[in-house]
Amino acid sequence: MVAGLDEKLEPIYQDVLRRNPGETEFHQAVHEVLETLGPVLVKYPEFAEHKIIQRICEPERQIIFRVPWQDDRGNTHINRAFRVEFNSALGPYKGGMRFHPSVYLGIIKFLGFEQIFKNGLTGLPIGGGKGGSDFDPKGRSDAEIMRFCQSMMTELYRHIGEYTDVPAGDIGVGQREIGYLFGQYKRITNRYESGVFTGKGLDWGGSRARREATGYGAVFFTQEMLQVRGDSLEGKTCVVSGSGNVAIYAIEKIHALGGRVIACSDSNGVIVDKNGLDLDLIKQIKEVERRRISAYAEERRDASYLPDGSIWTVPCEVALPCATQNELNGKDAATLVSQGCIAVAEGANMPTTPEGIKVFQESGIAFGPGKAANAGGVATSALEMQQNASRDSWSFEYTEERLREIMMNIHRDCHETAEEFGAPGNYVVGANTAGFLRVANAMVALGLV
């Protein structure tokens, strides 16, 4: 029997392993959800009768295709691309596209599986999906990225649509890439179907606050976790891993709420500034110049750069892992707790290993899992879809307030559901269970499809 799984769920997990060999990230994501669902099947035996869990673990559709493209020297390259349309019980498939050399089917399935429950938690009518390619945009010219995106969309366009599947950005896919992808979609289909992509530019159907949403949302969730404990971010020393879109805007909102972020990172190393990070400088380096975070230390003499260092060795009270999956392990978690960390919220997807989660939960600190804490990005994507459908444009302030309300509701649902199922304060149980119930009830209502 697999450790931590109810006896009714263990054969389901074994079947997932058998049917999806070698997809370790997907296995991890499934196990993390299944180990919390035993009490749900006791209370709702009809879900076992309808085989809801088995159906949720099997994507409705998996699309794999090649993407041939030419670089600026005329050399031909072949990449592989994926779109996993996992579950549409609540609405059209919704989830980002990731461009990174590590991308393979198991990564996309793990992300898509997480997306099902994350999207369910938002309370908005969106299903779960994910996509991407093993293409690496680093060091590529705008023209090369455009040619890759156009080649990719030449196949992908037939599988997506505003009522079918709505992609967005993820690691390696920002507003530039979304523009090239949407432009090719428009060219092929002869339709200005704004709602088919989210994360668009403001001049062509984008939503104000979408760029900030995932980072802001993670901080709103952190603030809610602290407030139920009679605390807040005011005056807290914080670290945020990563220095991409999520990390930058998490730092921005922490500063706005009175916290002080002293460290961030990229894949090469960690920058530490005990006086508090200069966010304008980070934005200039990462968003404008597209340089490595080490450039920060060249501009700020009081800052130190730790090549290949671990951000989790920097003492802090609040930590937000906002980079990539499995970046924070059990040893890292123990270090954070021993140095006085009181709250961790996942801005990335599954950045904490199972061993790390166990350390946080046993220590009693506030731990917000990604499917709850980083749901702000996809929630604001759904708001962008609403604006596109109504041919409307909302103010930044109105969109941010909608985001804050959604994150407060997600926190409330997770907190109350954890208590209902006998695990008060356990946001992993609360998020998995609340998200699962929303999707499962819809699947039962729609029949065997």
Q: How many CA atoms lie within 13 A of 263 on its CB side?
A: 25
Beta-ladder partners of 332: none
Burial of 256 by CB count in 10 Å (0-12 exposed, 13-18 middle, 19+ buried)?
exposed
User: In sequence order, which residues have a C-beta less than 8 Å from that of residue 167 and are 6 or more positions away?
Assistant: 83, 95, 96, 97, 129, 131, 156, 160, 181, 196, 197, 198
Question: For 260, phi and psi rounded to 5 degrees?
Answer: -135, 115
Q: Active-site residues: which are they?
A: 130
What whole-number distance in Å separates Cα of residue 155 and Cα of residue 101?
Answer: 20
Query: Tens-of-pLDDT digits for all 449 residues of the chain?
Result: 345 788 999 999 999 999 999 999 999 999 999 999 999 999 999 999 999 999 999 999 999 999 999 999 999 999 999 999 999 999 999 999 999 999 999 999 999 999 999 999 999 999 999 999 999 999 999 999 999 999 999 999 999 999 999 999 999 999 999 999 999 999 999 999 999 999 999 999 999 999 999 999 999 999 999 999 999 999 999 999 999 999 999 999 999 999 999 999 999 999 999 999 999 999 999 999 989 999 999 999 899 999 999 999 999 999 999 999 999 999 999 999 999 999 999 999 999 999 999 999 999 999 999 999 999 999 999 999 999 999 999 999 999 999 999 999 999 999 999 999 999 999 999 999 999 999 999 999 999 99
What whole-number distance in Å separates Cα of residue 149 and Cα of residue 172?
Answer: 12
Task: Using alpha carbons, list the distances in angstroms from residue 123 to 130, 251, 382, 409.
Answer: 19, 26, 10, 9
Task: Using alpha carbons, list the distances in angstroms from residue 239 to 227, 314, 371.
Answer: 19, 8, 20
Report the predicted TM-score, pTM, of the whole model to 2 decimal places. 0.93
Element (H, E) at 431: helix 427-446
What whole-number distance in Å separates Cα of residue 62 and Cα of residue 79?
Answer: 17
Cα 226–chain centre separation: 21
Element (H, E) at 67: strand 61-70
Which of 105, 97, 95, 84 shows the shortest CA–CA distance to 23? Answer: 105
Question: For 180, phi and psi rounded to 5 degrees?
Answer: -65, -40
CATH T-level assignment (fold) for domain 61-194:
Rossmann fold (3.40.50)
> Do 61-194 and 212-368 agree at the fold level?
yes
**What is the chain's alpha carbon radius of gyration, rounded to the nearest angstrom?**
21
Q: How many residues does the chain have?
A: 449
Q: Interior CA angle at 300 toward 297 and 304, to 5°? A: 45
Task: Using alpha carbons, list the distances in angstroms from residue 397 to 162, 241, 298, 401, 409.
Answer: 26, 27, 35, 6, 18
Domain map (residue ranges) of the chain: 61-194, 212-368
- Which segments within 134-252 are labelled E, that is strand? 165-168, 237-240
Which of 133, 118, 122, 131 shows the shortest CA–CA distance to 59? Answer: 131
Residue 290, pLDDT score:
87
- The domain at 212-368 falls in which architecture? 3-Layer(aba) Sandwich (3.40)
